[in-house]
Amino acid sequence: MAKKKILLNAFNMNCIGHINHGLWTHPRDTSTQYKTLEYWTELAQLLERGLFDGLFIADIVGVYDVYQNSVDVPLKESIQLPVNDPLLLVSAMAAVTRHLGFGLTANLTYEPPYLFARKLSTLDHLSRGRVGWNIVTGYLDSAARAMGLDAQPEHDRRYDQADEYMQVLYKLLEGSWEDGAVINDRQQRVYAQPDKVHKVQHQGEFYRVEGYHLCEPSPQRTPVLFQAGTSERGLAFAGNHAECVFIGGQTKASTRAQVDKVREAAVAAGRDAESVKVFMGLTVIVARTEEQARAKHAEYLRHASAEAGVAHFSSSTGIDFSTYALDEPIQYVKSNAIQSATKSLQNNDWTRRKLLDQHALGGRYVTLVGSPAQVADELESWIAETGLDGFNLTRTVTPESYVDFIDLVIPELQRRGSYKTAYESGSLREKLFATAQPHLPADHPGASYRHTTETGALQHA
């Protein structure tokens, strides 16, 4: 029986410090060059050499101002500050690659759906169908205040808004232009047939939209839909909409439970359990021998900032850890931030010292350190024991960590039959799901907003 092929995204952000904080101080790190096109085009070409499925680009709107009630540490350590727009990177990277996908984070709370639909279609056109959207609703009060709100909407309420946002997007991306609308007929002087282009009329609780989608259908119409919420409400949203779900696992047992919940949510929404690909965040430090990998890990630790990692985690939970003594138990407080992050503190058995130890490399993701064979063993084990489909691989020293993985781990996985040796053709959706269909599958709710080919009637009532 053929081995399950591991899916891989490079996890990155249009900033200096992303997940593993402090490593921008390493002499071989180039992340301060993030403001240049070459930084990104060279990264895209590197990842395509490694046959990565995608570059998953995180984003935030707002700043991490919970720790010490200030932005002093985020500014000094560049904890996702400054941060540039992720969407504007895609055109340049798409121009120098043929297959690499792009998972782009955008906060729907602050992006009007009518204009955002145009951005997605434009990028899907320019990349020839290689775009995904990581759907986020935000979790920072600093973002809400910057956007003119007193505070961000309550957690579950944000998902109510997100459900309606998706309805509007499906109407625009799937229902406004029929497949045969564009004929590009010079003789008849008809580019698009008016009877096959439809006005979207939406009157809802959160959005009112009356207008035609501004773009003709792109290769995928709706980009591949990513999502990262694992709260009860987030899972319900994922079951309805997500095609790829990003989770943060700490143990194989807890990760298996998360994966099972994601698949159960898809089934509850009337979709196939395998219609969702599940990715876990992971850090890898690899060298030709275990001894060399351990030495490299020790070298990285000398440059990393545990305090910066804890400051980041403060905003994820909404708890100012700086107010606690090193060994004082941290009290769980329900907040409006990331519920999966605060849930990890519910037993009240965490202290600031424990958090600093956990964030020794500047982040809190599972870290694999070893030779190519040892890393490959662990990757295969995580896939086999948890039901994961793949990983979002974080960066440590840029671009060294990706180069090491591509040169050392990828060939080992390929020898074992656990990783592809060439890209398949087609869009990002076709590659990820091994399908000949670039559009949303029939069991996805977004597909019901299409007009039928035979009658032109809208399928969604």
Contacts of 62 (CB under 8 A, 6+ apart): 138, 140, 141, 142, 143, 144, 145, 146
Whole-number percent of the chain with pLDDT over 70: 94
Q: What is the pLDDT of residues 402-424, one digit of tens each?
A: 999 999 999 999 999 999 999 99
pLDDT at 461: 44
DSSP type of residue 256: H
Tell me: is residue 124 an annotated ligand-binding position: no
DSSP helix/strand/coil, 272 = coil
Q: What is the mean pLDDT of the chain?
A: 94
pLDDT at 456: 52
Confidence of residue 341 (pLDDT cuts 50, 70, 90): low
Q: How far is CA 445 from CA 137, 174, 176, 238, 259, in A?
A: 20, 11, 16, 12, 21
Tell me: is residue 59 an annotated ligand-binding position: yes
Query: Is residue 437 a contact partner of residue 444, using CB atoms and an 8 Å limit?
Result: no
Q: Which long-range contacts (CB under 8 A, 24 or more apart) does 196-204 make?
A: 196/451, 196/456, 198/451, 198/458, 200/168, 200/171, 200/172, 200/175, 200/176, 202/167, 202/168, 202/171, 204/164, 204/167, 204/168
Domains and CATH numbers, the chain: 7-186+194-445 (3.20.20.30)
Whole-number percent of the chain with pLDDT over 90: 88
For 100-123, b where at least 16 C-beta lie within 10 A, e where not — what string?
bbbbbbbbbbbeebbebbebbbbb
Q: Does the pLDDT of residue 95 top 60, yes or no? A: yes
DSSP helix/strand/coil, 179 = coil
Map 192-235 to HEC letters: ECHHHECCEEEECCCCEEEECCCCCCCCCCCCEEEECCCCHHHH
If one compares 143 and 455, the residue with the highest pLDDT of the two is 143
pTM for the model stands at 0.94
Tell me: is residue 231 an annotated ligand-binding position: yes
Q: Does the pLDDT of residue 286 top 70, yes or no? A: yes
Tell me: is residue 340 an annotated ligand-binding position: no
Give the residue carrying structure tokens 């180039």.
Answer: 30
Q: Does the pLDDT of residue 227 top 60, yes or no? A: yes
Confidence of residue 349 (pLDDT cuts 50, 70, 90): confident
Phi first, then psi, for residue 218 (nearest 5°) are: -85, 170
Query: Is residue 107 a contact partner of residue 61, using CB atoms and an 8 Å limit?
Result: yes
The identity of residue 413, as a single letter, is L
Tell me: is residue 159 an annotated ligand-binding position: yes
pLDDT at 453: 55
Q: What is the pLDDT of residues 141-194, one digit of tens each?
A: 999 999 998 888 898 999 999 999 999 999 999 999 999 999 999 999 999 999
Please name which of 320, 138, 102 lies closest in space to residue 229, comparing C-alpha atoms.
Answer: 138
DSSP helix/strand/coil, 291 = helix
Distance CA 454, CA 452 (A): 6
Confidence of residue 229 (pLDDT cuts 50, 70, 90): confident
Distance CA 240, CA 445 (A): 7
Please name which of 44, 141, 144, 131 lies closest in space to residue 95, comparing C-alpha atoms.
Answer: 44
User: In the chain, count of helices (H) and strands (E)?
Assistant: 16, 13
Six token digits for residue 114 = 């009518």
Q: Which helix or strand (DSSP H or E) is residue 367 part of?
A: strand 366-370
CA 271 to chain centre: 21
